[in-house]
Chain A
Amino acid sequence: MSKPPSLNENRVYHENFMREAIAMAELALQSDETPVGCVFVHDSKVIARGMNDTNRSLNVPQGTHHAEFIALSQILSSPSLSSSSITTLLNQTDLYVTVEPCIMCASALRQYGIRAVYFGCANERFGGTGGVLNIHSDMGVERGYPCYGGIFREEAIMLLRRFYVQENEKAPETKQKKTRELKTDILPLAVEDAAQIDIREERLQAEA
């Protein structure tokens, strides 16, 4: 297995792919979906794109259709996969996702054998790669994977905040969002704790 590109050596390389993930999150926001987007990168090329699809997939709520799963289903549907196994392919594949993978996705990625994960902002509500649990590096049957956060973190947070002031009609108790204001101040990473309280609330709202 070749090594994943390190975060500091080639920042531009990673930022280019995170831009593509953010574009997917923008698309999700436009379709009233939780704005989380991702791309899977193999051999420096995007092989699949995903956006959260929990609210509108097939017009019914499906709480497990996170962006990572949508993109993985594309990879699994690809005819080019017939000769090599999914695990072999993903062993050479990196994920770029705007929000830290949740516990469910973090475990799926480990079982599929992902090489590395790069994310934008942390997810203190459900995060599986440091936010709440460390599914990527804990003891487990499968090999763990390295995970790097903070690429375009502010953009990822702002996407969630913009969603927070939109309505989620599918939620059982529609919260009054008309009175909500879009906050634009983002604390630097050094005071992450305070900022992540915001993310936590937004993510909670988004997933509700």
Chain B
Amino acid sequence: MTTNLEPSHPTSDGDDNRRNGTLIQLKTKGEIEAADKTINVYVVEIPIKSASVVLKLLRDAIPNQESVDLQHLRRFAKQEFLPDHLKSFSTPGNGNQSSPLSANPRTGTAYLLICPTHLIPQDDLSTLLSANPPFSDLPPPTILTLPVPLYSSTSLAQAAAWSRTHWPTSFKNTNPHGPHPPFVARAEVGLLRDGGRDMRKLVELARKAGDEAAMARKGPGVGCVIFGREKRGDGTAEAVAVAGDARWGLEGNGCGEGRGAGNVMAHAVMRAIGMVARKRLRLDGAEDATSQTSPNPFADLPRNELEKTVFDADTLNSGGYLCVDLEIYTTQEPCIMCCMAVLHSRFSRCLFGRKMPRTGAWMAESGLGYGLFWRPELNWKLLCWQWDDGEEKVDAKSCNQSPPLAR
């Protein structure tokens, strides 16, 4: 689902012509794996007036038809709605098993999707149809075997594509492999509040935090903002914590300046999650809310004025648990560690700027392909989008991957 966002009316902030951003919903790993899964079904042309007779005949003869859910496919299709390759395969004459659906366009007939082929052998089906009306008075029917999509489509566009390539398909506004589409649509309305300016402010905050850490030679210029909507009560998103990546910022311990992995646990996401915990602790009235060792490898307290301003802001209610109901934006797709930390922390939504095909773990359709935001094996799932405002490009640094470890 893609929602384009252009400011609909001029505003006074001077940059109304600038694109605020576009939400690009990520596909789940399950969606990608299911997208090309098909099942073979029988199709036969029948007179429309015999539809109910044939359906009853099939219902009685093939009792377990419901065992495969094909609700997303049209049961009957008139010839003009068939995919082109099924129409154009037509050859004159009928009755040959290998012949296509129909010789000529006819009125008064439609194509019936009977059932998956594993439910009844074709010969039995042929015998059954031929022995009963209407085919008892007609030439034996031609039974076609076609591959059709096994699972529901997850978008209107996909349903339209399958209707052209396989069989007339409807979009039921469901997604068996990911978040319920209306739920995603509601979330997008919230994210695009105030014409996307809400989101843009947060994105700029994260970018600034990354830039400041980079200028201080503490990190590679990656920033992260955690935000929530619980304090104001009107749906406005407010920053709860902002952090720049500080992997090279641990003093005097050889975590490198500008080189190597450094202190991995000081990635921007880990730091920001740590700051939320500190903030909750402060709300609890704990005396040690902002005490730290030196050095502090978790780097979970503000390290500059920008981070401190957000950390000190009254933007979180007391009594919360981990990062439940909070949302997170990172200037680039987080690494595997950081994505799993987001899951462990029970965030509800995540967004990122730049795709990171070699290290990122949100994307399922490209790169490493983990799609960690929505995996049935894991005990937490969340909504995930790329936020494209034209500023963050796909990471283009050339960097070779290590081959898998020999085992």
B5-13, B14-22, B236-244, B253-261 - the one binding chain A: B253-261
B104-112, B160-168, B278-286 - the one binding chain A: B278-286
Q: Are A58 and B278 in contact (CB under 8 A)?
A: yes
8 Å CB interface, B321-363 against A: 321-324, 335-338, 340-341, 344-346, 358-359, 361
Residue of B whose beta carbon sits closest to that of A103: B340
Bound Cα distance from A186 to B132, whole angstroms? 60
A126 to chain B, nearest CB (A): 7
- Complex partner residue of B402 from A85, A128, A142, CB under 8 angstroms: A142
User: Chain B 268-295 against A: per-residue CB contact (8 Å), 1 yes, 0 no?
Assistant: 0010011001101100101011000101
Is A170 part of the contact surface with B, judged by Cβ < 8 Å?
yes
Residues of B within 8 A of A83 (CB): 254
Bound Cα distance from A40 to B318, whole angstroms? 37
Whether A138 touches B404, Cβ cut-off 8 Å, given contacts A83-B254, A85-B256, A86-B263, is: yes
B37-45, B67-75, B227-235, B372-380 - the one binding chain A: B372-380
A5-13, A23-31, A107-115, A155-163 - the one binding chain B: A107-115
Total interface residues on B, using CB and 8 Å? 57
Q: Are A137 and B404 in contact (CB under 8 A)?
A: yes
Residues of A within 8 A of B284 (CB): 59-60
- Complex partner residue of B341 from A58, A60, A104, A141, CB under 8 angstroms: A104
Is B46 part of the contact surface with A, judged by Cβ < 8 Å?
no
Residues of A within 8 A of B407 (CB): 137, 146
8 Å CB interface, A81-107 against B: 81-88, 102-107
Whether A139 touches B368, Cβ cut-off 8 Å, given contacts A64-B270, A64-B273, is: yes
Residues of A within 8 A of B377 (CB): 132
Bound Cα distance from A69 to B358, whole angstroms? 24
Bound Cα distance from A95 to B375, whole angstroms? 28
B166 to chain A, nearest CB (A): 33
Is B139 part of the contact surface with A, judged by Cβ < 8 Å?
no
Q: Are B288 and A111 in contact (CB under 8 A)?
A: no
Bound Cα distance from A142 to B335, whole angstroms? 12
Bound Cα distance from A103 to B344, whole angstroms? 10
Q: Are A85 and B260 in contact (CB under 8 A)?
A: yes
Whether A107 touches B401, Cβ cut-off 8 Å, given contacts A69-B265, A84-B254, A138-B368, is: no
User: Chain A 123-141 against B: per-residue CB contact (8 Å), 1 yes, 0 no?
Assistant: 0011010001101111111
Most B CB atoms within 10 A — which of A57, A104, A113, A170?
A104
Is B30 part of the contact surface with A, judged by Cβ < 8 Å?
no
Residue of A whose beta carbon sits closest to that of B288: A58
Residues of A within 8 A of B280 (CB): 60-61
B296 to chain A, nearest CB (A): 8
Residue of A whose beta carbon sits closest to that of B335: A107
Bound Cα distance from A156 to B44, whole angstroms? 60
Bound Cα distance from A86 to B248, whole angstroms? 11
Q: Are A135 and B295 in contact (CB under 8 A)?
A: no
User: Chain A 147-184 against B: per-residue CB contact (8 Å), 1 yes, 0 no?
Assistant: 00000000000000000000000111000000000000
Bound Cα distance from A83 to B277, whole angstroms? 32
Whether A107 touches B336, Cβ cut-off 8 Å, given contacts A61-B321, A64-B345, is: yes
Is B250 part of the contact surface with A, judged by Cβ < 8 Å?
yes
Residue of B whose beta carbon sits closest to that of A54: B344
Residue of B whose beta carbon sits closest to that of A200: B379
Is A17 part of the contact surface with B, judged by Cβ < 8 Å?
no
Q: Are B293 and A57 in contact (CB under 8 A)?
A: no
Residues of A within 8 A of B404 (CB): 137-139, 144
Q: Are A86 and B286 in contact (CB under 8 A)?
A: no
B50 to chain A, nearest CB (A): 51
Residues of B within 8 A of A82 (CB): 252-254
B29 to chain A, nearest CB (A): 11
B251 to chain A, nearest CB (A): 9
Q: Are B336 and A135 in contact (CB under 8 A)?
A: yes
A79 to chain B, nearest CB (A): 8
User: Chain A 61-90 against B: per-residue CB contact (8 Å), 1 yes, 0 no?
Assistant: 111100001001100111101111111100
Q: Other CB < 8 Å A-B pairs besides A102-B344, A139-B368, 15 of them?
A: A59-B281, A64-B274, A64-B344, A83-B254, A84-B254, A102-B340, A111-B264, A111-B337, A125-B378, A132-B375, A133-B370, A138-B404, A139-B401, A141-B358, A207-B344
What are 9 residue pairs bridging A and B, where the CB atoms are less than 8 Å apart in the complex?
A60-B277, A73-B265, A83-B254, A84-B254, A103-B336, A126-B344, A128-B336, A137-B407, A140-B402
B-side interface residues toward A, CB under 8 Å? 250, 252-256, 260-265, 270, 273-274, 277-278, 280-281, 284, 286, 288-289, 293, 295, 297-298, 321-324, 335-338, 340-341, 344-346, 358-359, 361, 368, 370, 372, 375, 377-379, 399, 401-405, 407
4 tightest A-B contacts by CB? A144-B405, A104-B340, A107-B336, A76-B297
